[in-house]
Amino acid sequence: ASAAQPADSRNAQQILEDIFGYSEFRSGQAEVIDHTINGKDVLVLLPTGGGKSLCYQIPAMVRDGTGIVVSPLISLMQDQVEQLREAGVKAAYLNSSLDQDDYQATVQRLQEGHYDIIYVSPERLLQRYFLNMLAQTKIALFAVDEAHCVSHWGHDFRQDYRSLGQLKQRFPDIPVIGLTATADTTTEQDIQVQLGLDNPLVYKGSFDRPNIRYRVMAKYKPFEQIVTYIRQQDGSGIIYCNSRAKVDDLSAKLHRQGFKSAAYHAGMDADERAYVQRQFITDKIDVVVATVAFGMGINKSNVRYVVHHDVPRSIESYYQETGRAGRDGLPAEALLLFDEKDSARVKQWIDQGSMADRNAIELQKFAAMEAFAEAQTCRRQVLLNYFSQFSDTACGNCDICLDPPRPFDGLETAQKVLSCILRLQQQAATQYVIDVLRGKNLKRLQEAGHDKLSTWGIGKDQSDQYWHNIINQLIHRGYIRVDIASHAMLRLTEAARPVLKGEIGVELATPRLEIKADKPAKTA
């Protein structure tokens, strides 16, 4: 609070009503605010739109002194400060966008105790002269927004966030409140350690986004799948790819098909990126094809779908990225194109990483992502369980709930595939195996004499996509292994032997092949 106002003149409830115009706190807010006002450390985990800002803004106004808010994004700082000023709060920001005079004037007023709230970038805050200056200033609290940035385990690590642990050492009596939309336990614990929070209250809200429908499809011909999919959509969407090259390629191809699409990745210059973002926000373009660089700070509430062309490396990333859909609360969709080969490649990349202890955790994280993609039970349950929000009822708004897997006796089908792989000396990749199964008259098959194999054409009655799906199921069940080190050839595992001999049964799920037109989603 500013020096002019005695601390007890305004309480939290009054501020909520008078300044923010709301009548009651959302669940969790009151408890968090109460703790912070009482000078205790707090960690708040709430999804985007959950109402984190009030959790530090109100205590900053109630407590004596100025609330110092660390925020990584200049644009967000400016928005927040503008809104606060409009509501009559004494707020300002300090970052590289200010010229020297404004900067000095703001610092001066800060020292005089003029402000309720100051937003500051981590690199400014951590400058020695700035910390020394703060030591002479009355501080209400430190708020660390986007607190997951302090953690290597988070999806957006920032080096200058790492040093924020200094705050607690230097100002042990000032409460620190960390806030993030990240929910996983590893990151949560790391934030506590890195910020040096002292026995904090950890408040974790619900991470469910009931209006988002989760769907996973076997990635088969991704370009065609994506075109079919976005033709069925009204409104705008984001397509995430795992490399800049893929982003450029897919975006160009979509453009050629007549879609209003644009690319976005960190290899483009800042102006170009800002332009694409603006075009998207103002609905001039419908589709942004992007890497993960398209993310934090994108404030568009009516994104109707998010497609993952490639599997993300963790559920946290997946959750953050899909969370950009449907912020307006209206029905939205998250579609993941999943391929066992992608998955094997990701594991190989992680394995080749340089830090062994880190690789183990990353592998664990990826295993959870894989489990989500391969789940035969409600996807939302898998997701929420990962965030330790156990739920025992199926959601009714994911592909599994809407179209449950239909099992069939798959022994004969499995035998066709496994014996075909065996006849090919385990020297062929998926598409080649499918070509033989379907008996395609391709020159390279004939030249290799593979049209003479006993398994030639035994799968004629089904489509490529059908066999693709079956092969993925067999990989998932552990009968087939993808040998990434040698051209993704399919190899049989020990477990395949009893199947080939017919000694055990194999239950498979009937492949879902086409992308069905959207049914209206259940709303929250």
We find the least distance from the C-beta atom of residue 46 to ligand ADP, in angstroms, to be 5
Q: Which one of Zn ion, ligand ADP, none is in contact with 25 (Cβ closer than 5 to 8 A by kind)?
A: ligand ADP
Is 81 within 8 Å of 91 (Cβ atoms)?
Answer: yes
- Give the bridge partners for 46, in sequence order: none
Q: Which one of ligand ADP, Zn ion, none is in contact with 401 (Cβ closer than 5 to 8 A by kind)?
A: Zn ion
Closer residue to Zn ion in complex, CB, 12/325 = 325
Closer residue to Zn ion in complex, CB, 304/380 = 380
Q: What tokens does 504 get?
A: 């055990």
246 binds ligand ADP (CB under 6 A): no
Closer residue to ligand ADP in complex, CB, 22/349 = 22
306 binds Zn ion (CB under 5 A): no
* Helices marked H in 257-339: 270-281, 315-322
What is the spatial distance between Cα 506 and Cα 417, in angstroms, rounded to a whole number? 13
State CA 474 to chain mean position distance. Answer: 28
Closer residue to ligand ADP in complex, CB, 25/386 = 25
Q: Which one of Zn ion, ligand ADP, none is in contact with 349 (Cβ closer than 5 to 8 A by kind)?
A: none
Closer residue to ligand ADP in complex, CB, 86/503 = 86
Question: How many angstroms separate the Cα of 41 from the Cα of each of 51, 69, 99, 247?
Answer: 18, 14, 34, 42
Pairing of strands 407-409, 507-509: antiparallel
Window 35-74: contact mask with ligand ADP (x via CB under 6 A): -----------x-xxxxxxx--------------------
22 binds ligand ADP (CB under 6 A): yes
How many residues in total does the chain contain? 524
Q: What tokens does 364 get?
A: 């664990």
26 binds ligand ADP (CB under 6 A): yes
Convert 208-220 into a string of H (helix), E (strand) and C (coil). Answer: CCCCEEEEEEECC
Is 394 within 8 Å of 208 (Cβ atoms)?
Answer: no
Closer residue to ligand ADP in complex, CB, 86/271 = 86
Residue from 1, 19, 28, 29 in contact with ligand ADP (CB under 6 A)? 29
Q: Which one of Zn ion, ligand ADP, none is in contact with 52 (Cβ closer than 5 to 8 A by kind)?
A: ligand ADP
Name the amino acid, one letter, at 479. Y
Using CB under 5 A as the binding rule, the residues of this chain from 385 to 424 that contact Zn ion are 394-395, 398, 401
Q: Which one of Zn ion, ligand ADP, none is in contact with 482 (Cβ closer than 5 to 8 A by kind)?
A: none
Question: How many angstroms separate the Cα of 282 from the Cα of each of 82, 286, 291?
Answer: 21, 10, 20
Residue from 1, 15, 19, 25 in contact with ligand ADP (CB under 6 A)? 25
Closer residue to ligand ADP in complex, CB, 143/489 = 143
For 71, other C-beta atoms within 10 Å of its C-beta total 21
What is the spatial distance between Cα 270 and Cα 252, in angstroms, rounded to a whole number? 20
329 binds ligand ADP (CB under 6 A): no
Is 66 within 8 Å of 117 (Cβ atoms)?
Answer: yes
Is 322 within 8 Å of 212 (Cβ atoms)?
Answer: yes
Helix (H, G, I), strand (E, B) or coil at 490: strand
Count of positions on this chain that bind ligand ADP (CB under 6 A): 12
What is the spatial distance between Cα 219 and Cα 226, in angstroms, rounded to a whole number? 10
Which part of the chain contacts ligand ADP (CB under 6 A), choosing from 18-26, 98-106, 290-298, 505-513? 18-26
Residue located via tokens 């990635």:
219
Q: Which one of ligand ADP, Zn ion, none is in contact with 398 (Cβ closer than 5 to 8 A by kind)?
A: Zn ion
134 binds ligand ADP (CB under 6 A): no
User: What does the binding site for Zn ion look like in residue numbers (CB under 5 A)?
Assistant: 378, 380, 394-395, 398, 401
Task: List contacts with ligand ADP (CB under 6 A).
Answer: 22, 25-26, 29, 46, 48-54
